[in-house]
Amino acid sequence: MSIIQAIDVAHVRFVVPDLAKQRAFLKEFGLIEVAEQAGTVYLRGTSQAPFCYAVSEGEAAFAGFGIWAKDLADLEAVAAHDGVPVEPLDAPGGGWIARLTDPDGITVEVVTGQTMAEPLPTPQPMVWNEGQAHQRIARFRRTTTGPSTVLRLGHVLLSITDFRTSEAWYKKRFGLLTSDEISPAPDVAIGAFMRADRGETPHDHHTVACIQTGGPAGLLHSAFEVVGLDDLMAGHDHLAAAGYTPAWGIGRHILGSQVFDYWRDPHGFEIEHWTDGDQLRASDGGGRADMDAALGVQWGMRMPAPPVPPA
């Protein structure tokens, strides 16, 4: 039995030496700046999360990620289990926070009680004329140029040093469910794509993924959902025209099925736009997959090299 059932990932935190460069990139990526408090810049998507990305100035580092607890009672339960205090969250939306540390030293900020923001206007994706279903009649498809419209943070992928240790830690505290376990050989497991347990309400194929890479522990990438395929493609062209560095994509994953587009921010951290991911209920269970499925694509650009966290 887990201590709580987490709702979703809430935010990611970074420290970078050039805050101006990072802010410029994040704007072109499609995130929206909402506040600067005590030297930390907070950004959001168009959903109700008061922020989903926080960055401050200093030596380059991934500073951790947030995960939502259902309520204060759940937050207090997981904080008590790990012997850490519950404190006010000094960030847009307020609320409460308990800072946990996973087996590899990664900070996990469990949050609840935030005041949600008003959703921002979001373009609705147009239906497609496909095969025998022609739904778009006398409506011309014209894709808007500019940054992608980021809706929300969807998941984080972590490099960890011992998979079974990390898996047990995250499942014990947050009730995550395995969607796909990564098994390069029989009876060997090196990672898993894990989702939040929403019962019979469908949720993303993965919320937190852990992979034992053999490299240093840390973040492999953070992933943000966008409106749709046209929006993702337009955002790709926009970032390329602005001179930023593509990392992997565009393509469609095998595990999770997302259409993906990965980029490197000015400080080397990998960040993803995605759309059209699989949705699973708790009763849908999970499976096992080999490395070809974990790293492969259904179509599009193959992974150029195994992901390595920034030094």
Secondary-structure class of domain 8-115+148-300 per CATH: alpha beta
What pLDDT sits at residue 306? 55
Pairing of β 177-182 and β 107-112: unpaired
Round to whole Å and give the CA distance between 136 and 146. 24
Asked whether 170 and 157 are in contact (CB, 8 A), the reply is no
If we measure between CA atoms, which residue out of 285, 288, 101 comes closest to residue 190? Answer: 288
pLDDT in tens, 263-286: 999 999 999 999 999 999 999 999
pLDDT of residue 310: 54
Instruction: Identify which of 222, 232, 239, 242 has the alpha carbon closest to the alpha carbon of residue 53.
Output: 222
How far is residue 272 from each of residues 80, 88, 251, 265, measured CA to CA in Å? Answer: 34, 30, 12, 10
Segments making up each domain of the chain, as ranges? 8-115+148-300
- Average model confidence (pLDDT) across the chain: 96
Q: Alpha carbon of 89 to those of 24, 49, 95, 248: distances in Å?
A: 26, 14, 5, 35
d(CA 110, CA 88): 12
What would the pLDDT profile of 103-151 be if each residue is shown by its tens digit?
999 999 999 999 999 999 999 888 999 999 999 999 999 999 999 999 9
The pLDDT-based confidence of 309 (bands split at 50, 70, 90) is low
pTM for the model: 0.96
pLDDT of residue 125: 87
Report CA Rg, the chain: 19
For residue 300, is pLDDT > 70? yes
